[in-house]
Structure 1
Amino acid sequence: MIQHPWHEASPGPNPPHEIHALIEIPAGSKAKFEVDKESGLIKLDRVVFASVHYPAHYGFIPQTLGDDKDPLDILVLCSQGVPPLCLVPARVVGVMRMIDRGEGDEKILAVASGDRSFDGIENVSQLPASFRAELTHFFSVYKQLERKEVRVEEPEGPEVAKELILRALDFYKQKYPKK
């Protein structure tokens, strides 16, 4: 039996403080993978049509629903490679808000809880300025050659991110009530 990662994986032991990230795209990839909503399998959505790659592991928080009607996106920093469909315990450090084709889109920012390289990192402001700039640059340009405009705002801290997670967990429960 295949477990559906969006609907059946746990959002974490203590959301929004201790959460799980279901990784779809490994850091360094140009391939945009996503979990198929019907089957729960991973599928190739497209290859990023630009000379950039994902600067962090990218995925979603299970059992969440964002304003875009998709699971809440998350980027996870980890010093090691993480394959698609890996469930990563993570600590939320912030959020990046953006406007993608006129629609609001939030990306939760987190660090892998089990990676000692990120001990002490509690807020996005503690990440190197060069990494924050790389993240902003990636999301500003990754759709440019497809003629799609994305406007990226400055990252916000963990309290704002945690409020968004709680809201997305609630939206999910409203849309998909337990039977």
Structure 2
Amino acid sequence: MTNFLKLPTKSRNLFRVVVETPRGAAAKLAYDPKTGVFQYSRPLPVGNTYPYDWGFVPSTVGEDGDPLDGMVIHQAATAPGVVIKCDLLGALRVKQKDPHGAVIRNDRYIFCPRKEDAPDKPVAADHLPQDLRQEIEQFFLSSVLGTGKTIKLKGWQDAEKAARSLGKGARAFRRNNR
């Protein structure tokens, strides 16, 4: 059984993203490392679906103790457990307050498949159009309705700064798994 959490973060210069919830899904799925399966987590608010594949960057950990989150911008829907090698486009910085009042940083990293794997690549690796950024922001704001969590969007990071944040998450993972 593969432990997706412990896959290498990168392959050459590309980040790996493990898909948990495919594009078009109306429910959030989550990887359970104890059983090695992707299981139903919760429904999205009525009328919402994931606009792109959603998952995590393996061998990273964030302030919430989970792997760092990743959204893969491309035209296809995959399936839970698919690993995509990606270019990093940037990150949406997010402050999240959980139902118990704890406030953490829980950024959303935005990726696109490497060009050879996705000839229909919708964006350049160094640029997310403003209208796409706004659509992604609206999705994340609406996706937490009914969870008891609240989020505040703190702006966007370019790919270089986002890569440094991912590196920090990879170092934290290594420290926690010695």
- Name the TM-score, length of structure 1 as normaliser: 0.88
Residue type of the alignment partner of 2:2: Q
Moved more, 84-93 or 142-151: 142-151
Q: Check 1:172–1:49 CA distance in 2 against 1; reply closer, same or farther (3 A cut).
A: same
Residue type of the alignment partner of 2:27: A
Structure 2 contact 4–33 (Cα < 8 Å) conserved: no
2:118 maps to 1:115: yes
Structure 2 contact 24–77 (Cα < 8 Å) conserved: no
Structure 1 contact 95–155 (Cα < 8 Å) conserved: yes
**In the alignment, which residue of structure 2 is the partner of 1:28?**
24
Q: Which runs of 5+ in 2 are unaligned?
A: 98-102
Separation of aligned partners in 1, 2:70 and 2:158? 14
RMSD: 1.7
**In the alignment, which residue of structure 2 is the partner of 1:136?**
137
Separation of aligned partners in 1, 2:158 and 2:146? 31
Deviation at 1:146, TM superposition (A): 4.0
**Structure 1 or 2: larger strand share?**
2
Moved more, 143-152 or 36-45: 143-152
Separation of aligned partners in 1, 2:25 and 2:155? 24
2:174 maps to 1:173: yes
2:60 maps to 1:59: no
- The share of aligned pairs that are identical, in percent, is 19
Q: How does 1:25-104 map to 2 (within 5 A)?
A: 25-101=21-97, 102-104=103-105
- Name the TM-score, length of structure 2 as normaliser: 0.88
Q: Which runs of 5+ in 1 are unaligned?
A: none
